[in-house]
Amino acid sequence: MTRRGWTLHAWCVLWLWIALSWAAVGAHAADAEAHPALPRVTVDGSTETLLSERSLYWIDESGSLSIDQVQARADDLPWRVRRRENQRAPAGTLWITFEAVTPPGLPWFLEIGASVNDRVQLFYRRSGAWVLQQAGTGLDVAEWPVPGRLPTFALSPDAGQPVRYWLRVDDSHGDFAAPLALLRQDVLLKHRELEEFVLGCYFGVLVLVAFASLVNGLAFRDRASLVFAVCILLLGLGQLGRSGLGGQHLWPEMSRLNDAALELWPGAGVAAGLWLVKIMADPARLSRGLDLGVWGLIAALLGATAVHMVVDNAASLTLVLSLSGLALVAVLSMVLWGWLGSRDRHLRLVAMAFAPLVILALFPLGRDLGLLPASVLTRFGAYFGTLLALPMVYYAVNMRLMARREAELRANALVRADPLTGLPHLQAMTERLESSLLHARAQRQNCALLCIRLSNLETIQEEFGREAVDKALVITASHLRRLSAGYDMAARVGPREFALLMEAPATREAAISRAQQLVACGLREVAALPGVLLRYHVTWTLLPRPRLDGAATVQWAVDGLDQITPETRKAIRSMEMMEESALR
């Protein structure tokens, strides 16, 4: 089967699974029992008890009944067994009731497995009066009865006696998708310590990767790195709100800030992720209309998120979730297109990273839309997907950045280099020599300059042709590169002239030795030019010289090559000695 066939097959399986899950959820809800008997939860030696199928729920469509009215009409209300964790009540109030008997000893608590609902209240009677505890995003965490990451309520201290509890959930734009658990105090503390350790590591990784991406983006002006940092920031803010860590540690007395962080999720993070994938995949190469469509989807998602932050109701949330789902489909489509149709390695890494993230993100999205029951994947799918994708996306962005930087460096090098030999040209040598002369004068040391001429270039052209001339020049450049040590610099400064700058401290003996090595290299036959010997004339001098700058020094040394004729016995001459001979 071809790649495209496998892709089509995978899409069909995914949509079939979603359809079957939706149907199963609907069938499950239809089978719920009406008017069941109230289960009693008796805690016998266990340290943790889940209330799934051990509690009843009813939705007050008007949202106006008080706890006294609900208790008075409890026997006549159409309660249902809470078999799954999704009960939608966007237009009213959700009531959950259960009866529990706790053993004597350590205190017991009711923990709500999510921190995204507006207001959750727990009622129970003691000595004939109602005891009320309340928590949720509508209250500052500092005002919760048991401050922490998740809403937690203390159960009745009357151990060994059955107590009926009433839980009221008010959330105008979401559902109640949280498991309920009875926990002994020591177990609750252990759970909190473990969860905070794991989530602390998770958000620590997010901060480190975001900081590294931000530094790369600012240092190298890389848009993909900057967008990746923004994506992680928005993703982290949303997850800080949803996990409850933000309200617990960062803004315990600012519930409005917590609401803003919650409302950024998932629209802002998904929009930034879509922007990142757009930069990496570059859909404009395929179609200008597709590129504009992606921009339009990003704008719509950000606009819907802004509207949701102002309006904050069920309709605005549904709009954000629907556009987020469409954006996830666009992300998955672009990364699969990058995988199948691109030869760039970094795009394949992005495809490998985003595919599990998008697939796992469909679980919490399906739960928020009421299509899937709550489970480990629907609660933590985005976390798992992020942990899988983050290192690979960061590596892919860095691979793209390094490839871009390498291309820029090569382009810059071509501007300052000889296209045939790859060595720096005359201007580059002049600028470098100016710097070396300043350094040598400041340190009161000597640097050395060798100028080399390929003296038999005309003979090579007459006997072997133009191609052999080019090869001879390239081979000369190769010899000079091998002879360059440390911070030395070789350059092509004329049609057949080269220069080698030996940085300070340089000595007379070192300059002569380097010149002799070069002449010897030319007299050895190489495989690229069989039967051809390269004869070099070399002048050398110690620098700096009085009243000579970089350009004048190079020109002076090159002019000295004209004094070495074919009849000259020595191929290596000192500029100082030639000056002395001229004065005589």
Asked whether the CA dihedral 395, 398, 403, 406 is positive or negative, the reply is: negative
pLDDT in tens, 395-419: 888 888 887 777 777 766 666 788 8
Q: Is the pLDDT of residue 26 over 60?
A: no
Q: Which residue has the higher pLDDT, 45 or 234?
A: 234
Rounded Cα distance, 97 and 372, in Å = 23
Six-digit token pair at 80? Answer: 């249902």
**pLDDT category of residue 3 using cuts at 50, 70 and 90:** very low
**Is the CB of residue 265 less than 8 Å from the CB of residue 241?**
yes
Rounded Cα distance, 162 and 156, in Å = 10
**Is the CB of residue 536 less than 8 Å from the CB of residue 454?**
yes
Mean of the pLDDT values across residues 428-443? 90
**40-42 and 93-101 as β-strands: parallel, antiparallel, unpaired?**
parallel
Q: What is the 3-state secondary structure (H, E, C) of 72-99?
A: HCHHHCCCEECCCCCEECCCCEEEEEEE
Residue type, 218: L
Helix axis angle, 288-311 to 314-341, nearest 10°: 150
Q: Residue 362 CB: number of other CB atoms within 10 A? A: 23
Q: Is the pLDDT of residue 90 over 60?
A: no
Q: Please give the pLDDT value at position 20.
A: 44
pLDDT in tens, 93-119: 899 999 988 888 889 999 998 888 888
Q: Is the pLDDT of residue 145 over 80?
A: yes
pLDDT in tens, 176-190: 777 888 988 988 888
Which has the closest alpha carbon to 214: 231, 238, 236? 231
Q: Is the pLDDT of residue 336 over 70?
A: yes
Q: Please give the pLDDT value at position 387.
A: 78
Q: Please give the pLDDT value at position 255.
A: 72
Mean of the pLDDT values across residues 325-348? 73
Please report, for residues 113, 189, 199, 202, the alpha-carbon distance to residue 149 in angstroms, rounded to integers and kept in the order given: 10, 12, 11, 15
pLDDT in tens, 295-331: 999 999 989 888 888 887 777 878 888 888 888 788 7
Q: Please give the pLDDT value at position 413.
A: 65
Q: Please give the pLDDT value at position 500.
A: 94
Residue type, 103: P
